[in-house]
Amino acid sequence: MVRKASGALEPYSRGKLLRSCVKAGLNLIQAGQIASQVERNLYDGVETREIYRMMIEAISKLNPATAARYTLKHAIMSLGPTGFPFETYISRILEAYGYNARLRTKVKGRCVEHEVDVLAEKPSPTPVRIMVECKYHNAPGVYTGLKETMYTYARFLDLQEGGRLGLCEPIHQAWLISNTKCSEEAKAYAKCQGFMITAWKYPPKEGLENMIQRKKLYPITILGDLTANQLERLSETHVMLVEDLIRMDAEALAKSTRIPLRKIVEMKRFASTL
């Protein structure tokens, strides 16, 4: 039996492990080899995160870049403690999709003033201004639920009324974005009220991970072998995305971050394979 992040037990599934390997980018033969390696170390009650760790370790030996892409969820969960606010990361993603994004903006609603995580605007074809609520969790197995969804919609209604009264710019839509999965109740409520949710694997094939992978908007934490001190220095230099690292001059970055030039060159070389 396998213990999930929620604490529940379920039978071990080789098929699920194979699908995870294929999703990571391996072919069926490679996936079978990885599954066999992992299965040699399984025991009753093993945690899913331990299976995940063994799988990533095995994939890393086979193809480091593939392993890095597969650790995207963990890399995002590592953003907060390293000085990269989740809402800043989301603003960078939205900008890549054509939005103008304003961070942590004070907006006056009918009843109270709200700090909006990201105010996203797209001027054409039809001008739209969206209140984006960012829900970040730094542990697996935590769902974004009905409470967060209702809270987001209540704030949106107050801002919408504020816009009608001329207290703020018109707010046309609400959008809840989370780095974990959302509950079925949350999905149902958002659908009923007509506002957007983007979460892990939701909507199907349009989830947060799809938005990131489609344009290769990987966070710098996906590189994996950086120390907390090095991540803090990169944060101070505004290197949040892998593409920031690729674009910057190695010598200039080494000087500003005090990270050895050889390390920067290695990072840039690996980043270009993602």
Q: Is there a single domain that holds both residue 26 and residue 144?
A: no
Give the least confident one: 104-108, 114-118, 161-165, 268-272. Answer: 268-272
pLDDT(201) > 70: yes
Whether 69 is in a domain gets the answer: no
C-beta neighbour count of 198 within 10 angstroms: 20
As a whole number, mean pLDDT of residues 162-171 equals 96
Do 238 and 133 share a structural domain? no
Strands 46-47, 2-3: parallel, antiparallel or unpaired by DSSP?
parallel
Full domain range(s) for residue 225: 218-271
pLDDT score for 223:
86
Here the CATH number for the domain that contains residue 244 is 1.10.150
Asked whether residue 180 falls in the same domain as residue 162, the answer is yes
Q: Is residue 196 part of a domain?
A: yes
DSSP readout, 221-272?
A: GGG----HHHHHHHHHTT--BHHHHHHS-HHHHHHHH---HHHHHHHHHHHT
Residue 73 burial (C-beta neighbours within 10 Å; 0-12, 13-18, 19+):
middle
Q: Which residues contact 108 (CB under 8 A, 6 or more apart)?
A: 114, 162, 167, 168
Question: Using 50, 70 and 90 to split pLDDT, how confident is the model at 232?
Answer: confident
Average pLDDT of the segment spanning 230-235: 89
Residue 192 covered by a domain: yes
User: For residue 76, is it within any domain?
Assistant: no
User: Is 28 a member of any domain?
Assistant: yes
pTM of the predicted model, to two decimals? 0.83
Query: Has residue 79 been placed in a domain?
Result: no
Split into its structural domains, the chain has a count of 3
